[in-house]
A and B are shown apart, each in its own frame.
Chain A
Amino acid sequence: MTDLERHSFDVVVIGAGGAGLRAAIEARLQGKTVAIVCKSLFGKAHTVMAEGGIAAAMGNVNSKDNWQVHFRDTMRGGKFLNSWRMAELHAKEAPQRVWELETYGALFDRTPDGKISQRNFGGHEYPRLAHVGDRSGLELIRTLQQKIVSLQQEDFRETGDYQSKIKIFAEVTVTRLLVNDGRIAGAYAYYRETGDFVVFEAPAVVLATGGIGKTFKVTSASWEYTGDGHALAMRAGATTLNMEFIQFHPTGMVWPLSVKGILVTESVRGDGGILTNSEGKRFMFDYIPDVFKAQYATTPEEGDRWYTDPEHNRRPPELLPRDEVARAINSEVKAGRGTPHGGVYLDVSTRLPADVIKKKLPSMWHQFKELADVDITKEPMEVGPTCHYVMGGVEVDPDDEQTKLPGLFAAGEVSGGMHGSNRLGGNSLSDLLVFGRRAGLGAAIYVDELGGARPTVTDEMVADAETEALAAFHVEGGENPYTIHADLQQTMNDLVGIIRTESEMQEALDRLEGFKERVRRASVQGGRAFNPGWHLALDLKNMLLVSEAIARSALERQESRGGHTRDDYPVMSPDWRQLNIVSRTEGDGVAIYRQPLSPMREDLLELFDVNELNKYLTEAELPKGEHS
């Protein structure tokens, strides 16, 4: 252990997507030293895949937009299970966070008067998404990356060392959080390149590790999305909430098989694309739920008029929140009205001129042309639901993003609460910025308040972490981790997927018990240098823990809401709306408990019509004197 690499920082940020980079920028602006630890190369994080845009009520395209409308849309989208405080902060602060990106050098598409253009998206009442074609995530991550470089240049001018305040540890994976006496003391990690270990001593850690997509077979996620932050937090003693809420994005590619799950941006529908079944019917009109009847067009004619005259027409149901559209597609396919490859048709070719399609949706055109031999300006796409996002996540304080473990913060997809039971498109990138900043700020304040009393990393902690990380090398004749992973993904897809029932989830939990032994017995070939088999064996532990949290929470919640649909409990229940389901580790597994939501502040409640609140809240929760 004598030659073990050690570093000391004020703040360690795990993850280099939008939330992690924004947190790092903020902590550095607060005068803290920061390590950014990321699984991949700098600038490759999952944020690059975001397509549609950043939701922020700037009112550039429709001046009626404001934070209150955005707040309302977010709560509706999440079926009122959102942390209302997070939804409020998010709606209020998103515009500042977007404008700030321009000062870092971002170049969004423009309105005719030179402001940031905003596009329509599912569940958003007004055009709200700041975007760059359909590569908005790339612009976001590159902009933040370049801002970090500019801060490093400032530090270089001051100290002669680019990395004196912000140091990036690329292709480094954290395997364990180090905790001393109930507080964060640091993190333990390995370099992909060499397999060597590294210890970070830090009083504050910000988790910004993204999602859990790789626990499912059909997913839009990259290999990194193995629930690391969720599992690290739970193992360290923090909690996650509402892990049952998984967003299946309605439109993933379905063919060829090798690209099944890759995302087809919602912008296709936002810009006019329609969904049809094998009979050529625009089926979404059959799937408008009661809670949304007032806001959506009931005929194709009205829906089509809305694109040019939103004042006097309602929006087409293709732009319902994602959970509704995904369920509808699922039903159409199940009813035998699917495409040859088990999806439905998404057509923009008959809706917009070819040159406009190529201009507005360049990477979609490119993606279908190169991966599927489909020219989307001439023919429809085949699409179906794909695991896209986890609404549940690490439980945090809404204002400073601190978890239940002092010194541990979380922001972005890894954190929970903000999106309730279903996230609106575009609210993810704004979430990263708003809460990434707040987590960085929260961590900096925490470090200041801690003063000199920093928890220490002991030799024993380090030795334990090493033993755990190397275990797979000592298993003789164990199982190939790739096989275990494929089986786990299949189990989650089949039994805890888009439509759930008690018996299937119970079976999933039984199987997960079996996976625990299989994961312990995963064995690794080769050495420690850049060995993907070893990395997967380590990631599997995280995916397994997260899978159990998802399955247990999903079994517990006996209603259907947002990204959690129960065949056996198809109705949304106001009583269940009052409850979060919280997961924590117990033994080698997950235990859950119910936890009441805090009642929404009166002034926020007043933003809604009482008839709408009636659909979501229990009678006792309704504003006083307005019971109906």
Chain B
Amino acid sequence: MTYKAKFRVWRGDDESGDLQNYEVDVNEGEVVLDIVHRLQATQAPDLAVRWNCKAGKCGSCSAEVNGKPRLMCMTRMNTFTEDEVITITPMRTFPVIRDLVTDVSYNYTKARMVPAFAPPADLEPGDYRMAQVDVERSQEFRKCIECFMCNNVCHAVRDHEENKTTFSGPRFLMRIAELDMHPLDTVDRRKVAVDDHGLGYCNITKCCTEVCPEHIHITDNALIPLKERVADKRYDPIFSIASLFSRSKDTRTPAPETPKG
């Protein structure tokens, strides 16, 4: 059952670093994070890694395994062959702090720029009434565990550091869509989505959707509907005028059907 696997792990800090080779025991049923823990316990006690729940619920242990963004706790060792060299590197889009740990403060800065949920002023706690079918659209996005792999993989910032000031990445555009689809929210965030969060940078290549460990249909259910609503507001003069006389919620287009897979 047990075999020795070959690992290459990026070790270093914000100034320099390189891949270091390790041979580590692997047992049946283990995941990549188990191997990283075994490395810490036996060979590299100061190997820096972030993790919390080890159950795919907290989104802390994001890294790139053989170049692909993955939660290490949900990447099973039996998805690799026994002679395969497994390379673990930190998420590329965010600055390295040490080893596999990156500075993800970009995400928290962007989170703070999204205008908060604003219920009707006269609605008392306990009086909220919403239909299940209406809350489900936003609930899908609230499954997000903030692993930030979508923001890591999005080419608009992955290869363009300069876009980080103007673009918030799929995570926070999805947050805007989530609030937008909240049945009791009263704020129109369409202008903010474009001006402050760079919705226009997204050209729906679906890389974010592919890496989402929660299988959220970020592109189809959040980003495209958001783009459609923004397009309505910006380019349809009749629509714009009409929207002055009605609550913004009444004019949204329905989200597309959940695609397969």
* Interface residue ranges, A against B (CB under 8 Å): 40-46, 48-49, 95-96, 99-100, 102-105, 107-110, 112-117, 132-133, 135, 137-139, 142, 146-147, 149-150, 152-153, 162, 170, 193, 222-224, 255-259, 262-263, 363, 366-367, 370-372, 480-483, 486, 524-527, 529-534
- Determine whether the beta carbon of B128 is less than 8 Å from that of A44: no
Partner of B111, one of A115, A149, A259: A149
- Determine whether the beta carbon of A95 is less than 8 Å from that of B126: yes
> Does B252 reach chain A (CB closer than 8 Å)?
no
A117 to B132, CA, bound (A): 9
Q: Chain A residues near B111 (CB, 8 Å)?
A: 149
- Determine whether the beta carbon of B59 is less than 8 Å from that of A44: yes
- Determine whether the beta carbon of B55 is less than 8 Å from that of A480: no
Q: Chain A residues near B114 (CB, 8 Å)?
A: 149
- Determine whether the beta carbon of B46 is less than 8 Å from that of A138: no
- Determine whether the beta carbon of A105 is less than 8 Å from that of B116: yes
Q: Chain A residues near B117 (CB, 8 Å)?
A: 104-105, 146, 150
Partner of B119, one of A48, A49, A103, A526: A103
Q: Chain A residues near B30 (CB, 8 Å)?
A: 256-258
A261 to B258, CA, bound (A): 34
A99 to B51, CA, bound (A): 32
Top-10 shortest CB links A-B = A256-B29, A526-B46, A105-B117, A150-B116, A533-B45, A114-B129, A482-B41, A99-B125, A530-B48, A99-B126
Query: Which of B93-101, B151-159, B229-237 forms contacts with chain A?
Result: B93-101
Give A592 Cβ to nearest chain B Cβ, in Å: 32
- Determine whether the beta carbon of B125 is less than 8 Å from that of A107: no
Give A86 Cβ to nearest chain B Cβ, in Å: 23
Interface centre among A258, A366, A527, A529 (most CB of B within 10 A): A258
Q: Chain A residues near B132 (CB, 8 Å)?
A: 109-110, 112, 117
- Determine whether the beta carbon of A532 is less than 8 Å from that of B112: no
A277 to B252, CA, bound (A): 53
> Does B244 reach chain A (CB closer than 8 Å)?
no
Partner of B104, one of A41, A109, A114, A137: A41
Q: Chain B residues near A142 (CB, 8 Å)?
A: 142, 144
Give 12 new A-B contacts, CB below 8 A, not counting A105-B185, A107-B135, A132-B139. A103-B125, A109-B135, A114-B131, A115-B129, A142-B144, A152-B112, A482-B41, A486-B41, A529-B98, A532-B45, A532-B48, A533-B40
- Determine whether the beta carbon of B56 is less than 8 Å from that of A40: no
Partner of B112, one of A133, A162, A527: A162
Interface centre among B48, B49, B142 (most CB of A within 10 A): B142
Partner of B40, one of A150, A153, A482: A482
Give B98 Cβ to nearest chain A Cβ, in Å: 4
Q: Chain B residues near A139 (CB, 8 Å)?
A: 142
- Determine whether the beta carbon of A524 is less than 8 Å from that of B108: no
Interface centre among A133, A262, A481 (most CB of B within 10 A): A262
Q: Chain A residues near B131 (CB, 8 Å)?
A: 110, 114
Partner of A527, one of B46, B125, B130: B46
In chain A, what residue has the closest Cβ to B60? A44
In chain B, what residue has the closest Cβ to A171? B50
> Does B58 reach chain A (CB closer than 8 Å)?
yes
- Determine whether the beta carbon of B52 is less than 8 Å from that of A40: yes
A483 to B34, CA, bound (A): 16
> Does B146 reach chain A (CB closer than 8 Å)?
yes
> Does B177 reach chain A (CB closer than 8 Å)?
no
Interface centre among B28, B30, B57, B146 (most CB of A within 10 A): B57
A135 to B59, CA, bound (A): 13
Q: What are 6 contact pairs spanning A and B, CB under 8 A?
A: A41-B104, A102-B119, A107-B182, A371-B56, A529-B97, A531-B46
- Determine whether the beta carbon of B49 is less than 8 Å from that of A532: yes
Give A95 Cβ to nearest chain B Cβ, in Å: 7
A146 to B141, CA, bound (A): 14
> Does B164 reach chain A (CB closer than 8 Å)?
no
- Determine whether the beta carbon of A153 is less than 8 Å from that of B116: yes
Partner of A525, one of B31, B45, B139: B45
> Does B138 reach chain A (CB closer than 8 Å)?
yes
Give B166 Cβ to nearest chain A Cβ, in Å: 19
Q: Which of B45-83 contact A (CB under 8 A)?
A: 45-60, 74, 76
- Determine whether the beta carbon of A530 is less than 8 Å from that of B45: no
> Does B179 reach chain A (CB closer than 8 Å)?
yes
Q: Chain B residues near A482 (CB, 8 Å)?
A: 40-42, 45
- Determine whether the beta carbon of B57 is less than 8 Å from that of A138: yes
In chain A, what residue has the closest Cβ to B109? A162
Q: Chain A residues near B99 (CB, 8 Å)?
A: 530
Q: Chain A residues near B41 (CB, 8 Å)?
A: 480, 482-483, 486
In chain A, what residue has the closest Cβ to B49? A532
- Determine whether the beta carbon of B31 is less than 8 Å from that of A107: no
Q: Chain A residues near B242 (CB, 8 Å)?
A: none
| Interface membership of chain B positions 133-172, coded 1 if the CB is closer than 8 angstroms to chain A and 0 otherwise | 0010011001111100000000000000000000000000
